[in-house]
Structure 1
Protein backbone atom coordinates (compact mmCIF):
# COMPACT_ATOMS: atom_id res chain seq x y z
CA UNK A 1 0.00 0.00 0.00
CA UNK A 2 1.22 3.56 -0.60
CA UNK A 3 3.46 4.95 2.14
CA UNK A 4 4.31 8.56 2.82
CA UNK A 5 7.90 9.44 2.02
CA UNK A 6 10.06 10.26 5.03
CA UNK A 7 11.60 13.75 5.06
CA UNK A 8 15.29 13.79 4.23
CA UNK A 9 17.79 14.84 6.83
CA UNK A 10 19.03 18.42 6.69
CA UNK A 11 22.70 19.24 7.11
CA UNK A 12 21.85 21.53 10.04
CA UNK A 13 20.39 24.95 10.75
CA UNK A 14 22.27 28.14 11.37
CA UNK A 15 21.40 29.25 14.91
CA UNK A 16 21.85 32.96 14.19
CA UNK A 17 19.48 32.75 11.23
CA UNK A 18 16.94 30.85 13.34
CA UNK A 19 17.05 33.45 16.08
CA UNK A 20 16.61 36.30 13.60
CA UNK A 21 13.67 34.57 11.95
CA UNK A 22 12.11 33.90 15.34
CA UNK A 23 12.44 37.52 16.38
CA UNK A 24 10.96 38.65 13.09
CA UNK A 25 7.89 36.52 13.73
CA UNK A 26 7.46 37.52 17.36
CA UNK A 27 8.50 34.26 19.09
CA UNK A 28 10.43 34.26 22.35
CA UNK A 29 13.92 32.97 21.72
CA UNK A 30 13.68 30.71 24.76
CA UNK A 31 10.62 28.90 23.40
CA UNK A 32 12.25 28.50 19.99
CA UNK A 33 15.37 26.96 21.53
CA UNK A 34 13.27 24.54 23.56
CA UNK A 35 11.36 23.41 20.49
CA UNK A 36 14.48 23.15 18.37
CA UNK A 37 16.20 21.10 21.07
CA UNK A 38 13.28 18.70 21.05
CA UNK A 39 12.63 18.47 17.34
CA UNK A 40 16.12 18.63 15.86
CA UNK A 41 16.98 15.76 18.18
CA UNK A 42 14.14 13.87 16.54
CA UNK A 43 15.05 15.13 13.07
CA UNK A 44 18.59 13.80 13.41
CA UNK A 45 17.15 10.29 13.49
CA UNK A 46 15.17 10.63 10.26
CA UNK A 47 16.80 9.28 7.13
CA UNK A 48 19.40 7.15 8.92
CA UNK A 49 19.57 3.41 8.44
CA UNK A 50 18.14 1.18 11.13
CA UNK A 51 21.50 0.31 12.73
CA UNK A 52 22.53 3.94 12.89
CA UNK A 53 19.22 4.79 14.54
CA UNK A 54 19.72 2.08 17.15
CA UNK A 55 23.22 3.34 17.84
CA UNK A 56 22.33 7.04 18.13
CA UNK A 57 18.88 7.01 19.73
CA UNK A 58 19.56 8.32 23.20
CA UNK A 59 16.61 9.34 25.41
CA UNK A 60 18.77 12.08 26.93
CA UNK A 61 18.90 13.86 23.56
CA UNK A 62 15.09 14.09 23.27
CA UNK A 63 13.22 16.70 25.28
CA UNK A 64 10.07 14.66 25.87
CA UNK A 65 8.45 17.40 27.92
CA UNK A 66 8.52 19.72 24.89
CA UNK A 67 7.21 16.93 22.67
CA UNK A 68 4.14 16.23 24.83
CA UNK A 69 0.96 17.14 22.97
CA UNK A 70 -2.43 18.43 24.06
CA UNK A 71 -5.13 18.35 21.41
CA UNK A 72 -6.68 21.63 20.32
CA UNK A 73 -8.90 22.41 17.33
CA UNK A 74 -7.97 25.31 15.10
CA UNK A 75 -11.55 26.40 14.44
CA UNK A 76 -12.05 27.07 18.14
CA UNK A 77 -8.99 29.32 18.30
CA UNK A 78 -9.50 31.49 15.21
CA UNK A 79 -10.54 35.10 15.81
CA UNK A 80 -14.06 35.94 14.68
CA UNK A 81 -14.09 38.17 11.56
CA UNK A 82 -16.16 41.32 11.26
CA UNK A 83 -19.30 41.16 9.15
CA UNK A 84 -17.98 43.14 6.19
CA UNK A 85 -14.82 41.04 5.89
CA UNK A 86 -16.89 37.87 6.09
CA UNK A 87 -19.16 39.08 3.29
CA UNK A 88 -16.19 39.87 1.04
CA UNK A 89 -14.70 36.47 1.85
CA UNK A 90 -17.89 34.63 0.89
CA UNK A 91 -18.26 36.62 -2.33
CA UNK A 92 -14.62 35.88 -3.19
CA UNK A 93 -15.15 32.15 -2.67
CA UNK A 94 -18.21 32.15 -4.93
CA UNK A 95 -16.31 33.99 -7.66
CA UNK A 96 -13.29 31.71 -7.36
CA UNK A 97 -15.44 28.62 -7.74
CA UNK A 98 -17.21 30.15 -10.72
CA UNK A 99 -13.86 30.99 -12.27
CA UNK A 100 -12.54 27.47 -11.82
CA UNK A 101 -15.65 25.93 -13.32
CA UNK A 102 -15.89 28.29 -16.27
CA UNK A 103 -12.24 29.01 -16.88
CA UNK A 104 -13.06 32.73 -16.84
CA UNK A 105 -9.96 34.51 -15.54
CA UNK A 106 -11.98 37.65 -14.76
CA UNK A 107 -13.81 35.79 -12.00
CA UNK A 108 -10.52 34.66 -10.49
CA UNK A 109 -9.13 38.19 -10.54
CA UNK A 110 -12.29 39.61 -8.97
CA UNK A 111 -12.10 36.89 -6.35
CA UNK A 112 -8.52 37.79 -5.55
CA UNK A 113 -9.38 41.48 -5.16
CA UNK A 114 -12.16 40.70 -2.67
CA UNK A 115 -9.96 38.21 -0.83
CA UNK A 116 -7.29 40.88 -0.45
CA UNK A 117 -9.82 43.35 0.97
CA UNK A 118 -11.04 40.77 3.48
CA UNK A 119 -7.50 39.81 4.43
CA UNK A 120 -6.50 43.41 5.02
CA UNK A 121 -9.34 43.58 7.56
CA UNK A 122 -7.86 40.61 9.39
CA UNK A 123 -10.04 37.80 8.02
CA UNK A 124 -7.89 34.75 8.80
CA UNK A 125 -9.36 32.44 6.15
CA UNK A 126 -8.96 35.16 3.52
CA UNK A 127 -5.34 35.60 4.61
CA UNK A 128 -4.85 31.86 4.17
CA UNK A 129 -6.37 32.02 0.69
CA UNK A 130 -4.00 34.84 -0.22
CA UNK A 131 -1.02 32.70 0.71
CA UNK A 132 -2.27 29.98 -1.59
CA UNK A 133 -3.19 32.44 -4.36
CA UNK A 134 0.31 33.96 -4.46
CA UNK A 135 1.98 30.55 -4.41
CA UNK A 136 -0.33 28.98 -7.01
CA UNK A 137 -0.91 32.06 -9.18
CA UNK A 138 -4.67 31.91 -8.68
CA UNK A 139 -6.08 35.24 -9.86
CA UNK A 140 -2.69 36.92 -9.52
CA UNK A 141 0.88 36.46 -10.74
CA UNK A 142 2.89 33.95 -8.72
CA UNK A 143 4.84 35.81 -6.04
CA UNK A 144 6.51 33.59 -3.46
CA UNK A 145 7.70 36.57 -1.41
CA UNK A 146 4.11 37.80 -1.06
CA UNK A 147 3.01 34.30 -0.08
CA UNK A 148 5.64 34.25 2.67
CA UNK A 149 4.61 37.75 3.76
CA UNK A 150 0.98 36.73 4.28
CA UNK A 151 2.05 33.55 6.07
CA UNK A 152 4.06 35.74 8.43
CA UNK A 153 0.99 37.90 9.04
CA UNK A 154 -0.93 34.78 10.05
CA UNK A 155 1.91 33.82 12.37
CA UNK A 156 1.85 37.26 14.00
CA UNK A 157 -1.82 36.58 14.79
CA UNK A 158 -0.75 33.22 16.29
CA UNK A 159 -2.75 31.22 13.75
CA UNK A 160 -1.74 27.61 13.18
CA UNK A 161 -2.27 27.85 9.42
CA UNK A 162 0.54 30.39 9.21
CA UNK A 163 2.99 28.06 10.92
CA UNK A 164 1.93 25.22 8.63
CA UNK A 165 2.54 27.37 5.54
CA UNK A 166 5.92 28.52 6.81
CA UNK A 167 6.90 24.97 7.67
CA UNK A 168 6.03 23.93 4.12
CA UNK A 169 8.00 26.84 2.65
CA UNK A 170 11.06 25.98 4.76
CA UNK A 171 10.76 22.30 3.91
CA UNK A 172 10.61 22.96 0.16
CA UNK A 173 12.61 26.17 -0.12
CA UNK A 174 9.64 28.21 -1.35
CA UNK A 175 10.34 31.92 -0.93
CA UNK A 176 12.84 31.20 1.86
CA UNK A 177 16.06 29.24 2.20
CA UNK A 178 15.35 25.53 2.60
CA UNK A 179 15.77 24.39 6.20
CA UNK A 180 14.02 21.12 7.01
CA UNK A 181 14.94 21.08 10.69
CA UNK A 182 13.49 24.55 11.16
CA UNK A 183 10.40 23.42 9.23
CA UNK A 184 9.76 20.81 11.93
CA UNK A 185 9.67 23.57 14.52
CA UNK A 186 7.00 25.46 12.61
CA UNK A 187 4.95 22.33 12.01
CA UNK A 188 5.08 21.54 15.73
CA UNK A 189 3.94 25.05 16.66
CA UNK A 190 1.12 24.75 14.15
CA UNK A 191 0.12 21.42 15.69
CA UNK A 192 -0.05 22.99 19.14
CA UNK A 193 -2.27 25.73 17.72
CA UNK A 194 -4.74 23.17 16.42
CA UNK A 195 -3.79 23.01 12.74
CA UNK A 196 -4.73 19.55 11.48
CA UNK A 197 -2.17 19.49 8.64
CA UNK A 198 0.61 20.35 11.08
CA UNK A 199 -0.57 17.64 13.46
CA UNK A 200 -0.47 15.10 10.63
CA UNK A 201 3.01 16.11 9.45
CA UNK A 202 4.48 16.28 12.96
CA UNK A 203 2.98 12.96 13.98
CA UNK A 204 4.30 11.32 10.83
CA UNK A 205 7.82 12.67 11.37
CA UNK A 206 7.81 11.67 15.03
CA UNK A 207 6.72 8.08 14.51
CA UNK A 208 9.34 7.54 11.83
CA UNK A 209 12.03 9.03 14.02
CA UNK A 210 11.37 6.80 17.04
CA UNK A 211 10.52 3.60 15.15
CA UNK A 212 13.94 2.06 15.88
CA UNK A 213 14.27 3.40 19.44
CA UNK A 214 14.27 1.29 22.58
CA UNK A 215 10.75 -0.04 23.32
CA UNK A 216 9.92 2.45 26.08
CA UNK A 217 10.98 5.51 24.10
CA UNK A 218 9.44 4.14 20.90
CA UNK A 219 6.08 3.55 22.59
CA UNK A 220 6.18 7.01 24.11
CA UNK A 221 6.81 8.56 20.71
CA UNK A 222 4.10 6.44 19.11
CA UNK A 223 1.64 7.56 21.76
CA UNK A 224 2.28 11.22 20.95
CA UNK A 225 2.02 10.55 17.21
CA UNK A 226 -1.30 8.75 17.69
CA UNK A 227 -2.65 11.65 19.73
CA UNK A 228 -1.77 14.04 16.90
CA UNK A 229 -3.42 11.85 14.26
CA UNK A 230 -6.54 11.46 16.42
CA UNK A 231 -6.75 15.22 16.96
CA UNK A 232 -6.42 15.92 13.24
CA UNK A 233 -9.02 13.24 12.46
CA UNK A 234 -11.45 14.88 14.89
CA UNK A 235 -11.10 18.01 12.73
CA UNK A 236 -12.06 16.16 9.58
CA UNK A 237 -8.68 15.12 8.18
CA UNK A 238 -9.22 11.90 6.25
CA UNK A 239 -5.47 11.61 5.72
CA UNK A 240 -4.98 11.60 9.50
CA UNK A 241 -7.41 8.70 9.85
CA UNK A 242 -5.46 6.78 7.23
CA UNK A 243 -2.15 7.66 8.95
CA UNK A 244 -3.52 6.39 12.27
CA UNK A 245 -4.63 3.13 10.65
CA UNK A 246 -1.20 2.69 9.09
CA UNK A 247 0.34 3.44 12.48
CA UNK A 248 -1.46 0.46 13.96
CA UNK A 249 -0.66 -1.82 11.03
CA UNK A 250 2.83 -0.83 9.96
CA UNK A 251 4.37 0.32 13.22
CA UNK A 252 2.50 -1.37 16.07
CA UNK A 253 1.34 -4.58 14.36
CA UNK A 254 -2.24 -4.22 15.64
CA UNK A 255 -4.37 -4.62 12.50
CA UNK A 256 -7.70 -4.80 14.31
CA UNK A 257 -7.05 -1.44 15.94
CA UNK A 258 -6.76 0.00 12.43
CA UNK A 259 -10.38 -0.75 11.54
CA UNK A 260 -11.92 2.24 13.31
CA UNK A 261 -9.58 4.89 11.87
CA UNK A 262 -9.88 3.28 8.44
CA UNK A 263 -13.66 3.52 8.78
CA UNK A 264 -13.47 7.13 9.94
CA UNK A 265 -11.22 8.06 7.02
CA UNK A 266 -13.49 6.23 4.58
CA UNK A 267 -16.48 8.14 5.98
CA UNK A 268 -14.65 11.32 4.94
CA UNK A 269 -14.10 9.98 1.43
CA UNK A 270 -10.60 8.50 1.69
CA UNK A 271 -10.33 6.06 -1.22
CA UNK A 272 -7.26 4.17 -0.03
CA UNK A 273 -8.93 3.45 3.31
CA UNK A 274 -11.93 1.99 1.50
CA UNK A 275 -9.63 -0.12 -0.63
CA UNK A 276 -7.70 -1.34 2.41
CA UNK A 277 -10.91 -2.30 4.21
CA UNK A 278 -12.05 -4.19 1.14
CA UNK A 279 -8.81 -6.14 0.82
CA UNK A 280 -8.52 -6.76 4.58
CA UNK A 281 -11.90 -8.50 4.75
CA UNK A 282 -11.40 -10.17 1.39
CA UNK A 283 -8.03 -11.68 2.28
CA UNK A 284 -8.39 -11.97 6.06
CA UNK A 285 -5.42 -9.66 6.56
CA UNK A 286 -5.35 -9.25 10.34
CA UNK A 287 -9.11 -9.81 10.59
CA UNK A 288 -11.49 -12.69 9.92
CA UNK A 289 -12.37 -13.12 6.27
CA UNK A 290 -15.82 -11.73 5.50
CA UNK A 291 -16.90 -11.86 1.88
CA UNK A 292 -20.06 -9.84 2.53
CA UNK A 293 -18.20 -6.93 4.15
CA UNK A 294 -15.51 -7.17 1.48
CA UNK A 295 -18.18 -6.85 -1.22
CA UNK A 296 -19.74 -3.91 0.60
CA UNK A 297 -16.47 -1.96 0.78
CA UNK A 298 -15.66 -2.88 -2.81
CA UNK A 299 -19.00 -1.42 -3.94
CA UNK A 300 -18.39 1.82 -2.04
CA UNK A 301 -14.86 2.06 -3.40
CA UNK A 302 -16.10 1.62 -6.96
CA UNK A 303 -18.81 4.22 -6.39
CA UNK A 304 -16.13 6.64 -5.26
CA UNK A 305 -13.95 5.76 -8.26
CA UNK A 306 -16.85 6.57 -10.58
CA UNK A 307 -17.54 9.89 -8.85
CA UNK A 308 -20.88 8.82 -7.39
CA UNK A 309 -20.12 9.96 -3.84
CA UNK A 310 -17.87 12.53 -2.16
CA UNK A 311 -18.23 11.56 1.49
CA UNK A 312 -19.79 8.41 2.90
CA UNK A 313 -21.49 9.70 6.02
CA UNK A 314 -23.76 6.66 6.22
CA UNK A 315 -20.94 4.10 5.97
CA UNK A 316 -21.55 2.82 9.52
CA UNK A 317 -25.06 1.83 8.49
CA UNK A 318 -24.20 0.54 5.02
CA UNK A 319 -20.96 -1.27 5.91
CA UNK A 320 -20.76 -1.57 9.72
CA UNK A 321 -17.60 -2.90 11.30
CA UNK A 322 -17.83 -6.25 13.11
CA UNK A 323 -18.09 -5.34 16.84
CA UNK A 324 -15.92 -8.21 17.98
CA UNK A 325 -12.98 -7.15 15.81
CA UNK A 326 -12.83 -3.43 16.46
CA UNK A 327 -10.45 -3.62 19.42
CA UNK A 328 -7.76 -5.96 20.49
CA UNK A 329 -4.44 -7.25 19.23
Structure 2
Protein backbone atom coordinates (compact mmCIF):
# COMPACT_ATOMS: atom_id res chain seq x y z
CA UNK A 1 0.00 0.00 0.00
CA UNK A 2 2.82 2.43 0.83
CA UNK A 3 4.52 1.58 -2.47
CA UNK A 4 1.37 2.32 -4.47
CA UNK A 5 0.83 5.59 -2.59
CA UNK A 6 4.38 6.72 -3.36
CA UNK A 7 4.07 5.72 -7.02
CA UNK A 8 0.76 7.57 -7.33
CA UNK A 9 2.31 10.70 -5.82
CA UNK A 10 5.23 10.55 -8.25
CA UNK A 11 2.93 9.75 -11.18
CA UNK A 12 0.74 12.75 -10.38
CA UNK A 13 3.83 14.87 -11.07
CA UNK A 14 4.43 13.11 -14.39
CA UNK A 15 7.25 10.79 -13.25
CA UNK A 16 7.79 8.36 -16.14
CA UNK A 17 9.06 5.33 -14.21
CA UNK A 18 6.32 5.61 -11.59
CA UNK A 19 3.68 5.65 -14.32
CA UNK A 20 5.31 2.66 -16.00
CA UNK A 21 5.24 0.74 -12.71
CA UNK A 22 1.64 1.71 -11.99
CA UNK A 23 0.48 0.51 -15.40
CA UNK A 24 2.15 -2.86 -14.80
CA UNK A 25 0.91 -3.17 -11.22
CA UNK A 26 -2.66 -2.17 -11.99
CA UNK A 27 -2.66 -4.51 -14.99
CA UNK A 28 -1.21 -7.60 -13.38
CA UNK A 29 -2.28 -7.16 -9.76
CA UNK A 30 1.04 -8.18 -8.26
CA UNK A 31 2.35 -6.64 -5.06
CA UNK A 32 6.06 -6.26 -4.31
CA UNK A 33 5.97 -9.12 -1.82
CA UNK A 34 4.28 -11.46 -4.28
CA UNK A 35 0.82 -10.93 -2.78
CA UNK A 36 -1.89 -10.92 -5.44
CA UNK A 37 -4.44 -8.14 -5.71
CA UNK A 38 -7.35 -7.67 -8.04
CA UNK A 39 -6.21 -5.86 -11.22
CA UNK A 40 -7.56 -2.34 -11.74
CA UNK A 41 -8.16 -2.04 -15.52
CA UNK A 42 -9.53 1.52 -15.42
CA UNK A 43 -6.47 2.83 -13.58
CA UNK A 44 -4.10 0.93 -15.84
CA UNK A 45 -5.86 2.46 -18.85
CA UNK A 46 -5.69 5.93 -17.29
CA UNK A 47 -1.89 5.83 -17.12
CA UNK A 48 -1.60 4.14 -20.51
CA UNK A 49 -3.47 7.03 -22.10
CA UNK A 50 -1.36 9.54 -20.20
CA UNK A 51 1.71 8.02 -21.84
CA UNK A 52 0.10 8.02 -25.27
CA UNK A 53 -0.88 11.68 -24.89
CA UNK A 54 2.76 12.47 -24.06
CA UNK A 55 3.95 10.49 -27.13
CA UNK A 56 6.10 8.25 -24.95
CA UNK A 57 7.62 5.40 -26.94
CA UNK A 58 7.04 3.02 -24.03
CA UNK A 59 3.29 3.70 -24.16
CA UNK A 60 3.21 1.76 -27.44
CA UNK A 61 4.49 -1.25 -25.53
CA UNK A 62 1.77 -0.79 -22.89
CA UNK A 63 -0.81 -0.66 -25.69
CA UNK A 64 0.62 -3.85 -27.18
CA UNK A 65 0.33 -5.53 -23.79
CA UNK A 66 -3.25 -4.32 -23.36
CA UNK A 67 -4.38 -5.48 -26.82
CA UNK A 68 -2.37 -8.70 -26.98
CA UNK A 69 -3.50 -9.90 -23.54
CA UNK A 70 -6.88 -8.13 -23.32
CA UNK A 71 -5.76 -5.95 -20.40
CA UNK A 72 -6.67 -2.46 -19.18
CA UNK A 73 -10.24 -2.79 -20.45
CA UNK A 74 -9.21 -3.44 -24.07
CA UNK A 75 -10.62 -6.25 -26.17
CA UNK A 76 -8.25 -9.07 -27.01
CA UNK A 77 -6.73 -8.15 -30.41
CA UNK A 78 -3.31 -9.81 -30.88
CA UNK A 79 -2.84 -8.68 -34.49
CA UNK A 80 -3.29 -5.00 -33.64
CA UNK A 81 -1.25 -5.50 -30.49
CA UNK A 82 1.70 -6.79 -32.52
CA UNK A 83 1.53 -3.70 -34.73
CA UNK A 84 2.05 -1.51 -31.66
CA UNK A 85 4.81 -3.80 -30.44
CA UNK A 86 6.62 -3.32 -33.76
CA UNK A 87 6.17 0.45 -33.42
CA UNK A 88 7.72 0.34 -29.95
CA UNK A 89 10.60 -1.73 -31.36
CA UNK A 90 11.16 0.80 -34.14
CA UNK A 91 11.21 3.59 -31.57
CA UNK A 92 13.97 1.78 -29.67
CA UNK A 93 12.16 0.46 -26.58
CA UNK A 94 14.43 -2.33 -25.26
CA UNK A 95 11.62 -4.21 -23.49
CA UNK A 96 9.70 -4.30 -26.79
CA UNK A 97 12.79 -5.54 -28.63
CA UNK A 98 13.21 -8.29 -26.05
CA UNK A 99 9.53 -9.28 -26.23
CA UNK A 100 9.55 -9.41 -30.03
CA UNK A 101 12.73 -11.49 -29.92
CA UNK A 102 10.89 -14.05 -27.82
CA UNK A 103 8.02 -14.12 -30.32
CA UNK A 104 10.42 -14.69 -33.22
CA UNK A 105 12.00 -17.49 -31.21
CA UNK A 106 8.87 -19.34 -30.10
CA UNK A 107 6.39 -18.65 -32.91
CA UNK A 108 8.55 -18.34 -36.02
CA UNK A 109 11.77 -20.17 -35.07
CA UNK A 110 13.62 -17.26 -36.70
CA UNK A 111 16.78 -17.35 -34.60
CA UNK A 112 18.71 -14.77 -36.62
CA UNK A 113 16.07 -12.07 -36.14
CA UNK A 114 15.74 -13.07 -32.48
CA UNK A 115 19.47 -12.57 -32.02
CA UNK A 116 19.49 -9.16 -33.72
CA UNK A 117 16.64 -7.95 -31.53
CA UNK A 118 18.31 -9.25 -28.37
CA UNK A 119 21.50 -7.48 -29.38
CA UNK A 120 19.61 -4.18 -29.83
CA UNK A 121 18.09 -4.46 -26.36
CA UNK A 122 21.36 -5.62 -24.77
CA UNK A 123 23.25 -2.63 -26.17
CA UNK A 124 20.79 -0.40 -24.29
CA UNK A 125 21.58 -2.08 -20.97
CA UNK A 126 18.52 -4.34 -20.81
CA UNK A 127 19.70 -7.10 -18.49
CA UNK A 128 17.13 -9.74 -19.48
CA UNK A 129 18.27 -9.43 -23.10
CA UNK A 130 21.94 -9.70 -22.08
CA UNK A 131 21.17 -12.80 -20.05
CA UNK A 132 19.28 -14.43 -22.94
CA UNK A 133 21.94 -13.40 -25.47
CA UNK A 134 24.61 -15.00 -23.28
CA UNK A 135 22.74 -18.29 -23.62
CA UNK A 136 22.63 -17.87 -27.42
CA UNK A 137 26.38 -17.23 -27.57
CA UNK A 138 27.04 -20.23 -25.34
CA UNK A 139 24.73 -22.77 -26.98
CA UNK A 140 24.57 -21.65 -30.62
CA UNK A 141 28.18 -20.55 -31.10
CA UNK A 142 30.12 -22.07 -28.20
CA UNK A 143 31.55 -18.60 -27.49
CA UNK A 144 32.10 -18.93 -23.74
CA UNK A 145 34.13 -15.74 -23.37
CA UNK A 146 31.37 -13.56 -24.82
CA UNK A 147 28.71 -15.49 -22.91
CA UNK A 148 30.57 -14.87 -19.65
CA UNK A 149 30.95 -11.15 -20.37
CA UNK A 150 27.23 -10.80 -21.18
CA UNK A 151 26.22 -12.49 -17.92
CA UNK A 152 28.59 -10.23 -16.00
CA UNK A 153 27.18 -7.13 -17.76
CA UNK A 154 23.59 -8.27 -17.10
CA UNK A 155 24.39 -8.44 -13.40
CA UNK A 156 25.80 -4.92 -13.49
CA UNK A 157 22.43 -3.59 -14.70
CA UNK A 158 20.40 -5.55 -12.11
CA UNK A 159 16.78 -6.56 -12.52
CA UNK A 160 15.48 -10.10 -12.87
CA UNK A 161 17.86 -10.74 -15.76
CA UNK A 162 20.77 -9.65 -13.60
CA UNK A 163 19.65 -11.94 -10.80
CA UNK A 164 19.42 -14.92 -13.14
CA UNK A 165 22.87 -14.10 -14.54
CA UNK A 166 24.30 -13.92 -11.03
CA UNK A 167 22.92 -17.39 -10.28
CA UNK A 168 24.52 -18.78 -13.44
CA UNK A 169 27.84 -17.12 -12.63
CA UNK A 170 27.71 -18.71 -9.18
CA UNK A 171 27.52 -22.10 -10.87
CA UNK A 172 30.25 -21.22 -13.39
CA UNK A 173 32.77 -20.70 -10.57
CA UNK A 174 31.57 -23.53 -8.34
CA UNK A 175 33.43 -26.85 -8.18
CA UNK A 176 30.33 -28.70 -9.38
CA UNK A 177 29.36 -27.45 -12.84
CA UNK A 178 26.53 -29.90 -13.50
CA UNK A 179 24.15 -27.14 -14.66
CA UNK A 180 26.82 -25.11 -16.51
CA UNK A 181 28.81 -28.01 -17.97
CA UNK A 182 30.06 -25.98 -20.95
CA UNK A 183 32.28 -24.14 -18.44
CA UNK A 184 33.81 -27.37 -17.15
CA UNK A 185 37.30 -26.07 -18.00
CA UNK A 186 36.79 -22.83 -16.03
CA UNK A 187 38.69 -23.09 -12.73
CA UNK A 188 36.60 -23.04 -9.57
CA UNK A 189 36.88 -19.76 -7.66
CA UNK A 190 35.38 -19.73 -4.13
CA UNK A 191 35.66 -15.94 -3.82
CA UNK A 192 33.74 -15.30 -7.04
CA UNK A 193 31.24 -18.06 -6.28
CA UNK A 194 30.40 -16.50 -2.90
CA UNK A 195 30.32 -12.97 -4.33
CA UNK A 196 27.94 -13.84 -7.17
CA UNK A 197 25.75 -15.75 -4.70
CA UNK A 198 25.54 -12.63 -2.53
CA UNK A 199 24.60 -10.50 -5.52
CA UNK A 200 21.94 -13.02 -6.64
CA UNK A 201 20.32 -12.98 -3.18
CA UNK A 202 20.38 -9.17 -3.10
CA UNK A 203 18.47 -9.01 -6.41
CA UNK A 204 16.23 -12.08 -6.16
CA UNK A 205 15.88 -12.60 -2.41
CA UNK A 206 15.68 -15.83 -0.49
CA UNK A 207 12.84 -17.99 0.79
CA UNK A 208 12.31 -15.62 3.73
CA UNK A 209 13.54 -12.25 2.44
CA UNK A 210 12.53 -10.27 -0.65
CA UNK A 211 15.17 -9.14 -3.08
CA UNK A 212 15.47 -5.70 -4.64
CA UNK A 213 15.49 -5.79 -8.48
CA UNK A 214 16.26 -2.05 -8.53
CA UNK A 215 19.81 -2.68 -7.35
CA UNK A 216 22.47 -1.88 -9.96
CA UNK A 217 26.21 -2.36 -9.66
CA UNK A 218 28.04 0.19 -11.84
CA UNK A 219 31.34 -0.38 -9.97
CA UNK A 220 31.25 -4.17 -10.38
CA UNK A 221 34.43 -4.35 -12.47
CA UNK A 222 36.33 -2.45 -9.79
CA UNK A 223 35.57 -5.00 -7.06
CA UNK A 224 34.71 -8.19 -8.95
CA UNK A 225 36.48 -8.15 -12.33
CA UNK A 226 36.33 -11.20 -14.57
CA UNK A 227 39.43 -13.43 -14.64
CA UNK A 228 42.37 -13.20 -15.03
CA UNK A 229 42.11 -10.06 -12.88
CA UNK A 230 42.25 -10.55 -9.12
CA UNK A 231 39.14 -9.91 -7.06
CA UNK A 232 38.85 -7.16 -4.44
CA UNK A 233 35.39 -8.13 -3.22
CA UNK A 234 34.06 -6.24 -0.19
CA UNK A 235 30.32 -6.93 -0.47
CA UNK A 236 27.42 -5.73 -2.59
CA UNK A 237 27.65 -2.07 -1.53
CA UNK A 238 31.22 -1.82 -2.81
CA UNK A 239 29.87 -2.64 -6.29
CA UNK A 240 27.27 0.15 -6.21
CA UNK A 241 27.80 3.82 -6.82
CA UNK A 242 28.64 5.61 -3.58
CA UNK A 243 25.31 7.43 -3.67
CA UNK A 244 23.29 4.22 -4.12
CA UNK A 245 25.25 2.43 -1.41
CA UNK A 246 24.49 5.21 1.06
CA UNK A 247 20.79 5.18 0.07
CA UNK A 248 20.32 1.43 0.36
CA UNK A 249 22.24 1.17 3.62
CA UNK A 250 20.03 3.88 5.13
CA UNK A 251 16.64 3.50 3.38
CA UNK A 252 13.97 6.15 3.92
CA UNK A 253 10.93 5.47 6.08
CA UNK A 254 8.45 4.80 3.27
CA UNK A 255 5.51 4.49 5.66
CA UNK A 256 6.20 7.99 6.97
CA UNK A 257 6.59 9.34 3.43
CA UNK A 258 3.30 7.72 2.38
CA UNK A 259 1.49 9.10 5.44
CA UNK A 260 2.83 12.59 4.70
CA UNK A 261 1.71 12.36 1.05
CA UNK A 262 -1.80 11.36 2.10
CA UNK A 263 -1.89 14.04 4.80
CA UNK A 264 -0.96 16.76 2.31
CA UNK A 265 -3.63 15.54 -0.11
CA UNK A 266 -1.27 14.85 -3.02
CA UNK A 267 -3.22 11.64 -3.54
CA UNK A 268 -6.33 10.46 -1.77
CA UNK A 269 -6.29 7.19 0.12
CA UNK A 270 -9.33 5.85 -1.72
CA UNK A 271 -7.52 6.37 -5.04
CA UNK A 272 -4.91 3.77 -4.17
CA UNK A 273 -7.01 1.22 -2.34
CA UNK A 274 -6.79 -2.33 -3.70
CA UNK A 275 -9.17 -5.21 -3.06
CA UNK A 276 -7.38 -8.54 -2.42
CA UNK A 277 -8.35 -11.44 -4.64
CA UNK A 278 -10.69 -13.97 -3.11
CA UNK A 279 -8.95 -16.89 -4.84
State whether TM-score is above 0.5: yes
Of 196, 199, 202, the match for 1:301: 196
Contact map agreement 2:166 2:199 (CA 8 A) in 1:
no
Specify which of 273, 290, 297 is matched with residue 165 of structure 2.
Answer: 273
Q: Structure 1: 5+ residue runs without aligned partners?
A: 1-95, 212-217, 324-329
- 1:320 matched to 2:216? The reply is no
> What displacement does 1:202 show?
0.9
- How far is 1:130 from its partner? 5.2
TM-score, length of structure 1 as denominator length: 0.51
Segments of 5+ residues of structure 2 without an aligned counterpart are 32-37, 204-211, 230-279
Q: Secondary structure at the match of 1:236?
A: coil
Supply the RMSD in Å over aligned alpha carbons. Answer: 3.5
Higher relative helix content: 1
Q: Distance in 1 between matches of 2:18 and 2:155?
A: 29
Partner of 1:195: 93
- Cα distance in 2 for partners of 1:152, 1:229 equals 28
Q: Check conservation: 1:275, 1:297, Cα contact below 8 A.
A: no
In 1, are the aligned partners of 2:130 and 2:150 still within 8 Å (CA)? yes
Could you give the per-residue CA deviations for residues 16-61 of structure 1, whole angstroms, max 9, x where no partner exists?
A: xxxxxxxxxxxxxxxxxxxxxxxxxxxxxxxxxxxxxxxxxxxxxx
String of CA shifts for 1:208-256, please: whole Å, max 9, x gaps: 3443xxxxxx4xx52x333322332333321111111122234x24241
Task: Tell me which residue corresponds to 1:147.
Answer: 44
The equivalences for 1:141-180 within 5 A come to 143-174=40-71, 175-180=73-78
| Matched residue count | 202
Deviation of the 1:262 alpha carbon: 1.1
Range with greater deviation from structure 2 (125-134 or 240-249): 125-134
- Aligned to 1:313, the other structure's residue is in SS state coil
Larger Rg: 1
- How is 1:246-257 mapped onto 2 (pairs within 5 angstroms)? 246-250=135-139, 252-256=140-144, 257=146
Inter-partner Cα distance in structure 1 for 2:18 and 2:200:
32
State the shift of 1:146 in Å: 3.9
Change in Cα spacing, 1:299 to 1:130, as seen in structure 2 (3 Å) is closer
- Alignment deviations for residues 258-278 of structure 1 (CA, whole Å, 9 cap, x no partner): 222111112223222122233
**2:122 pairs with one of 228, 233, 236:** 233
The residue aligned with 2:274 is none
Which whole-Å deviations, capped at 9, do the CAs of 1:293-329 have from their partners, x for residues lacking one? 4x34321232125539943434434241459xxxxxx
Q: Is the 8 A contact 1:170 1:177 kept in 2?
A: yes
- Indicate if the aligned counterparts of 1:279 and 1:285 stay in contact, CA closer than 8 A: no
Q: Which runs of 4+ in 1 moved over 4 A?
A: 123-127
